[in-house]
Every structure is written in C-alpha cells, then in structure tokens.
Structure 1
Amino acid sequence: MTAADREARVVDQVSKQLFIGGRWRDAKSGATFKVEDPSTGSVLCEIADAGTDDAFAALDAATAAQPTWRKHPPRERGEILRRAYELLMERQDDLALLMTLEMGKPLAEAKGEIAYAADFFRWFSEEAVRIEGGYSVSPNGQARFLVMRQPVGPAMLVTPWNFPMAMGTRKIGPAIAAGCTMVLKPAQQTPLSALALADILREAGLPEGVLSVIPTTDAGGVTEPLLRDGRIRKISFTGSTPVGRKLIEQSAEQVLRTSMELGGNAPFLVFDDADLDAAVEGAMMAKMRNIGEACTAANRMYVQAGVADEFARRLTERMGALKIGRGTDEGVQVGPLIDAKAREKVQGLVDDAVNRGAKVMVGGGPSDGDGYFYRPTVLADVPQESQLSHTEIFGPVAPIIPFQTEDEAVAAANDTEFGLVSYLFTQDLGRAFRVSEALDAGMVGLNQGVVSNPAAPFGGVKHSGLGREGGNVGIEEFLETKYVGIAGID
C-alpha cells in the first residue's frame, strides 16, 4: 500500500456524518463543509455541517439518556473508559496519521498525543469508582450530616483544533466517570479526530445518547441556543480568552457550571545559575511542542544577562537545525501552521518586534512551497513593549528578552492578563521556591519544559480560565455536592 493509499484509507474509514443519540446521520439541512490539509491546502473530505436543529437533537438525546446514565454502575463506567483506552492505543498509528492530515503536526508528535489522550481515559476509568461523599455528626449531637456527590447533568463540551484528540478525552473522560451525558462540538478545522473518537467510544460500549458529536461551521449558532435552553447544566471549553468570555456571558442566564481553559502568555525564565543544557532542551520542548500552537507554549523567554548571549546561540543552533515539511514525511520536526490567518498573525508579530529593534537570529518568515509553513525563529534583544511580549504567538517563534535581577524577571513575567503556565530554570533551591510562589500562574514547570499530565491538575488563573482538568480534581468539575440533614438522632 502506498503512502497516498494509506492516507486515503484512514480518512475514508471515519464517518463524515454527525453522531447523535448513538447513530450516524446527515445534517438536517444536508449542508457539509470541507476539511483541509494545512500542509498542502488540499481538501481531505467533506463533513456534515450541524445546524441548530441538529444541536437540539443532540441535546434531546443527552437529556433523555441522563436519568439512566447517572445510575449506571461506576465500575461499568470505568470499564467503558478502559476499553476505549485500549482501542485508542491499538489504533494509535492510524489515529495519529488522521490527526497529522487534518491538523499538520509531525507524525511522531501525533502519536504522542494519541498516547496522551488515551491516558485521560485510563486515569478517569480509575477515578469513576472513587467518587466519595461524607458522614458526620452535628456539633450539638442531635443530627447527622450526609454529603453525597452526584453528576451535574448534561454537559456541553467545546474543543480546539490544536490538540483535537487529547482535548476531547480530557473532557469526555471525567464526564463519563462522573455520570454526565455530553454534546461535543469539535473545532471546525479538525472534526475527524472527534468523529473517530465517538466511534471508538461506541465500540467500547458507551450507551446511546451519552455522547453526541456535532461538527459545525456555525459555532455560535449551535452553542448559544443550547446554553440558553436550560437543560445543559455544564459547559467545558478550551480555546481563546475572547470566546471564553462570550461563553461565560451566555452561561450566566442559566447559571451554568463553567470550566474555561483559555489563552496563555507563558514566561520562560532562565537564571544565570541554571543548567544551560537543560534550559535549552526545556525551551525547545516548551516552545516547539505542536509547532508552538499550544496555550502552554513558551511565549516570552526572559534570560538573565550573564547567560543571555550563550542561551540565544545554543537555541538558535537547535531551532535552525529543525526539519520543516509535511508531517507525514520521514524526519520532519516542524509541520505547517493551521491556516493562512495563523501564519499572517505570526508574521505580523515578528515584523513588529524587528521594527522595534529585535534581532533575527534565525528564521523570521514563511518557508517556500505549498501549505502554511513558518520557519522556526529566534529573536534576540526583544523590547518588552513589542506586541509579542503581550500577545499569544501560537507559532514557532522564540523571543529572548534579557533581564538583570530576580525581581525584574518576576515582575515582567507577571505583567500580563494571562496566568496559565510559567517555566523556571535555576539550580538555586531557595530561588526555585521563591519564584515559583511569586509567579501568577496556575502551573509552573520547574526545570522542565512540559507540565501537562493526566494525573495532574491543568488550568490557569486570571484571564487564562476557570477550573481544572485532569488529576484528582478533574472529575470535580462534573459533580455537584448534595447535603442531606438527618434529624431526630439522640
């Protein structure tokens, strides 16, 4: 089988319909939209384009299934997730290729994401049987307090294009474990991974109506009516801060539970006592994971003046050696950005920094050929007032900003409305604790360039969001607390 034949096969084996109430169906309007390969600009396939009627059909299915699903034995809910985990791992190669075709990331990274995505199902399969309550005696001894945890109810899940499988499992896993039904709206750019995931969960034994998947080109027209309907009781969203703010406003009418994993502007601090080899390696991971298209990507690299030049030299050498190309090609380390608009944004930020005095060490512009490629770029001596010091880049650009003192570095790192993750490299134990505590972020990577882990709580502060996903607290986002007071006990 040729590479082209295999690519066609993995696309063909995914349903192009909506998944509603456990069944595949066309959009009621008959509308479809095109899914593009960002490395070539060519069309992979056409997908059913959900409208408002389809969204309400999905909500009807979720509402009808909720009373039975909430009573489903926790052990069986966990076993469904465990079977889905095993199916994801068995089909890792095909699912990774599918993701690379619709999103662009190199195949090795896509395989890593499938494993990461599957681990959320494995983690929450174990959490399903650990939903605990409480029992205590009232202070006066005359009553008893019974505390129970129950599913919040039907949930709306909205996922982004940059991690199309992992962001789905990170939300679906705890919802299934908690006993919530779901309506999932995946990103328009990457619906195939979500549709493949729906089929895997169906095969793993998920009952009809528990999960519906409705790709659409009209995100607002599909989600807003559901949020205002009153039957959805929870929304979990990963995406930009402006869209998150809008969804919070819409959720207020029905006082919905909200989880918001929003934008980032991650600082990456390197002190002069750091292990420079480890810092450069960490910078490559924090910057170039997913081609820089990640909310956790290192956005501003603050390097103490004594090591700034050497750090820049080493990072430039590493970035300049990366192989750019279609993610399916052997040895490729940098794929395309998601679309032309994304590439234009990155170029605008680089141009602004250069016009303000930044020095291009490597890269600085798009690469030749088809697709939305941008060369890995290092900018030295970036002014703090440049736009990319305050804007999420979402591309393979590493701006280096020198600093003198610890206080200066912390102040600059915190000078943003965002607070998702910060990175810190130092071998001084006291400094490690001081700076970790001083950074305004929901997560800190101390001497490491990747913080994401299904067993750890993921989320930010300030305008980076509300709530946490993963870890022991991830399931809490899908549970309500009910207190029962028992009187008449002497």
Structure 2
Amino acid sequence: MSQIVKIKIAATGRTIELPTGLFINNEFVPSVDSQETLSAINPATEEEICKVVAASEKDIDLAVKAARAAFKNTWGKNVTGFERSRLLYKLADLIERDQQELAELETLNNGKPVRIARDFDIGDTVQCLRYYAGWADKILGETIEVDNKTKLAFTRADPIGVCGQIVPWNYPIMIWAWKVAPALAVGCTVVMKPSELTPLTALKLSQLVKEAGFPPGVVNTVPSLGHVGGAALAAHMDVDLVAFTGSTVTGKKIMEAAARSNLKKVLLELGGKSPNIIFESADLEQAATWAVLGTLSNSGEDCTAGSRVYVQESVYDKFIDLLIEKVKSTPVGDGFDDAVTNGPVISKTHFDRVWGHIESGKREGAKILVGGERRVGSGYFIDPTVFVDVKQDMKIVNEEIFGPVLAVGRFSTEEEAIELANNTRYGLGAGLHSRDANQAMRVSLALDAGTVWVNQYDILHNNVPFGGKKQSGIGRELGKQGLDEYISVKAIHWNFGEKASWPV
C-alpha cells in the first residue's frame, strides 16, 4: 500500500486524502525499482502540493501484464456488454457524487477555475461515460451475403486488447474520459499515463474505478515522465493500441516507436493553429464573443483554440472594437475565485514558452492592442493579449502558442479568407461567422479541418466525432467513430455445404 497524503484546500477548507502510489491491479503500490517522484505544483502560487510516485519502465511492464491478464480472464470477451454498461454507469455516478472534490483538486493542480472544472469538464466527463455506457451492449457485427446455399460470412466486433493511453495536462479529467470510456465500453483494458504535471485527479479517478467494482487490472494508472512512461507504452510489444493527446512533435515520436515495435495501432489528437473567419455578414457582437471564447477559454490552453482570427476589411474596425472590449473584461486570477474566468497557465516552462511567442510578435512588428505586459507577483498568470497587423509569416501566426494570445488579420474576399485559413500544417479545427447560408456552406466545405464551427466556436458533444487532419492527428474520438477505434473487426467464413476438390 502506498502513502496517503492529506491535501488541504485552503480556499474551501476541504481536506482530500489521496494515495500517491501507482494504481496497478486495483491497488496503489510503490515503484518496484525506483525512488523517483513527481512534484505536483499549484500554478497559481508556484507551491508544491505533494509528491507522487513516478513509474519506471519495469512498473509500466507490470501494469501492461496486469491489463493483459484482466483482458484474458476477467474482462474482454468474458464480460457481457450489459455488465460493462452497468460499471460505466456506476463510475459516472461516483464522479458526479464527488464532482466538487474533483473540481477543487483539478483547480489546485491545473489552475482552471473551480466552477469551470466542475460544470464543464467534470459535467462533460459524466456525460461521456454515460454515453459510452449506453453503447456497451450494442457492439454489433453483421452478416454478409456471399452464397446462401453453401456458405455464411459474418463479422465480430472484438475489443482490440490492451490500450496505452496518454492524456495531457490541459483537460486532465475530461480527456481521461474520452479515452477510457470507449475503450472499456468495447471490452479493452487500459494502462493510463496522466501528465507528469497533473497526476492528482487521475489518482482520484482510480479510487473511483475500484469503488465502482471494475475487476483488477482493467484500469491501471502509472504517473511518469513522458520519456519514460509514454515511450515505454508506445514501444511495448504487448500493448495493442496507444492513444495520445498532446503535441505534434511527441505524436510523431509515439508513432515511430509504435511502428518499430509491434506495429500497434495509434490514435493521435495533436496540435492545432485554428482559424476563425469573420465575414461582413456576421452578427459581429456574437462573432466577437465566440472569438474570445474560442481563444481565451482554458487560458488558451486548448488544441482547437481559434487563435488566428481573420476579419473582412469592411467590418474590421467595428469588430476590433467589440473584440477588445470583451477581452478587457476577462478576469484573470486564482481559480478558487468565483469571479475568475481565466486561471494561470500550467507551469514555469510553459509560461516562458508563451512569453517567448509574445516577445516574437513584438519583434516581428505586430501591434499589441491589449495585454502583452508581465504581471508582478507569484503564479504563472498571463493576461489575454491581442495582436493586430499580423503577417502570415510571423511566428505567432504559424506556431501553436497554447496560451491566451490572439492574432488578428484582414482579408478582402471569400477566396482569400479560405486560402489564409488553410495555410497551415495543422487541421484540427476552424470556424466561420456569416448569416449568409450559402456562404457558410461553401466555406465550411472548403476549410481543411476535422471540425468546422459555423456561428459558434469550440463547442463539442460526446456523440459527435472529433479529430484532426494533416499534422493534427490520426483517428477520431467521441461519437460512434470514437468507439470504432477500439474495435478489431474479425471476419468469419462458414462453409456448410461446398465440397473441396483438388486440383481446382
């Protein structure tokens, strides 16, 4: 049994008891060969919350073996869809029961406002688990007509097996559900590597997995550094699929390791530099609101952030006035303050990275209309920053910043807007705002992205597939398509009449 820490939430007076060990076979355990730990930091204060055990490669191997044993003996094809459904519903109920505690723990370790963590991230998590719980007893094959007199052909939808899942620090609970829920629904087992920056809620969720009644080994949690845990899962010969959300650079490394090992399936949701187009026919008030939501939500730490806004020249000045007014009214501060919309960014390293982009925008000649000044005091806080007069070759236009930084450009024609929007190596999301229905349809079809929002931005639903094109990823999460990623289709040919002869 690993150590239990008592985490005091000063803002609410709550004390949370949390195991700090690795979760393998439904037990929290120390590392078998390492004394390494991960330090969980509060980004609003820069203070350490606690330390958790860091998994070694041997620990990862033990977790994979536990997942394989569960897949063969107590999960996989051994459990009915009705039972998988029941357990997923139970887990959703437990998360809903503990939503306030989970939200406070998320805010402490991630920085996002408690009310947003509770009402949006955890609310979505509960819905996601229930959505896939509803699918668990509806995993169907099909019969295929080939020769009704002598042969029957049919398919089975089998679980793919042991899944290594790697989740990022920007949505630690929600993306955990996006990966775990469809995998468990079809009968896969999971080895989960949370971000080394935000391991705390993954450990709390592991407690709830056990309380819900999942058999040992079905879900295993191995906090670790990326070059240890992530690399080990990608290269492991007994992992059948690796699902990763994070940077394109790391995604390429995972894909290479997967190919060099056992050619395992990869599911990658990677970076983005998403455009958001404002046409002259748009409701400008609403377009400005969506532009702010689409860029500043989650402190800009969002793969689909619409951080490239292109505005038609005829309405540019009016739109900019509306945009700046809304950006200036965005409160930034500690996530335990109910009035706050944006918390800190995740870490000192990331803080410096975002500031590097802001400084590059200044050097390259972009004009700042709001923000762009460092705050004094503790915490990794960055005020929303808006650049205008941007050019397509600027770093702030081409590279994913993952912070509250918005670059605004102009365009004249619809064709120019499409060309500017598609001029990127990414293809995760895109948005457009227009009250001209024909234009909205033309442009949405022309935009080269996995998700296109029309007259809104960055709103996802559990029953709608999500994923990228180009260097923004491979595969889809959410919806029926997200379920299919964890299924291996087996074709069965059954002869009941035809006699074999040789030579033919």
Residue 24 of structure 1 is aligned with which of 25, 28, 46?
Answer: 28
Change (3 A) 1:198 1:178: same
For 1:67, the equivalent position in structure 2 comes to 72
Structure 1 counterpart of 2:46, from 36, 41, 49:
41
Q: 1:170-209 alignment to 2 at 5 Å?
A: 170-209=178-217
Post-superposition offset of 1:341: 2.0
CA contact under 8 A between 1:444 and 1:451: conserved in structure 2? Answer: no
- Partner SS, residue 131 of structure 1: coil
By how many angstroms is 1:136 displaced?
2.3
Contact 2:115 2:338 in 1 (8 A): no
Give the deviation of 1:130 after TM superposition.
Answer: 1.3
- The CA distance in 2 between the partners of 1:458 and 1:439, in whole Å, is 15
Q: Distance in 1 between matches of 2:340 and 2:232?
A: 43
CA distance in 2, matches of 1:189, 1:221: 14
Aligned counterparts of 2:402 and 2:165: Cα–Cα separation in 1: 22
Superposition pairs of residues 14-413 of structure 1, within 5 angstroms: 14-28=18-32, 29-68=34-73, 69-70=75-76, 71-111=78-118, 112-138=120-146, 141-217=149-225, 219-253=226-260, 254-413=262-421
Correspondence for 1:462 among 459, 470, 476: 470
User: What is the TM-score of this pair, normalised by structure 2?
Assistant: 0.94
Tell me by how many angstroms 1:107 deviates: 1.4
The residue identity in structure 1 corresponding to 2:481 is V
Structure 2 vs 1, CA of residues 290 and 370 (structure 1 numbering), >3 Å: closer, same or farther? same
Report the CA distance between 1:366 and its aligned residue: 2.6
What's the counterpart of residue 5 of structure 2? Answer: none
CA distance in 2, matches of 1:200, 1:134: 35
Is the partner of 1:129 in helix, strand or coil?
Answer: coil
Please tell me whether the aligned partners of residues 382 and 399 of structure 1 are also in contact (alpha carbons under 8 angstroms).
yes
Report the Cα offset of residue 141 of structure 1: 4.9
Q: Distance in 1 between matches of 2:65 and 2:9?
A: 42
Unaligned runs of 5+ in 2: 1-7, 499-504
Q: Which whole-Å CA distance do the structure 2 matches of 1:464 and 1:141 have between them?
A: 48
1:450 Cα offset (Å): 2.1
What is the DSSP-based 3-state SS (H/G/I as helix, E as strand, rest coil) of the residue aligned with 2:112?
A: coil
The separation in 2 between residues aligned to 1:307 and 1:226, in whole angstroms, is: 50
| TM superposition shift of 1:309 | 1.4
Match of 1:9 in 2: 15
Match of residue 495 from structure 2: 487
**Maintained 8 Å contact 1:7/1:97:** no
Query: TM-score, with normalisation over the residues of structure 1?
Result: 0.96
Quote the Cα distance in structure 2 between the aligned partners of 1:16 and 1:6: 22
Asked if the contact 1:315/1:378 (under 8 Å) is kept, the reply is no
Cα distance change of structure 1 residues 414 and 5 upon mapping to structure 2, 3 Å threshold: closer
- Secondary structure of the 1:260 match is strand
* Alignment deviations for residues 135-174 of structure 1 (CA, whole Å, 9 cap, x no partner): 1220575321111110000010000000000111110001
Q: Contact (CA 8 Å) 2:161, 2:240: kept in 1 or not?
A: yes
| C-alpha spacing 1:393/1:5, structure 2 compared with 1 (3 Å) | closer
RMSD of the TM alignment (CA)?
1.5
Deviation at 1:30? 3.0
Query: Structure 1 residue aligned with 2:434, among 414, 421, 426?
Result: 426
Equivalents in 2 of 1:305, 1:345: separation in Å? 32
Cα distance in 2, alignment partners of residues 136 and 274 from structure 1:
49
Identity %: 35
- Distance in 1 between the 2:162 and 2:355 partners? 42
CA distance in 1, matches of 2:173, 2:13: 18
* CA deviation after TM superposition for structure 1 residue 272, in Å: 0.5
Q: For structure 1, list consecutive stretches of 5 or more residues without a partner in the other structure.
A: none
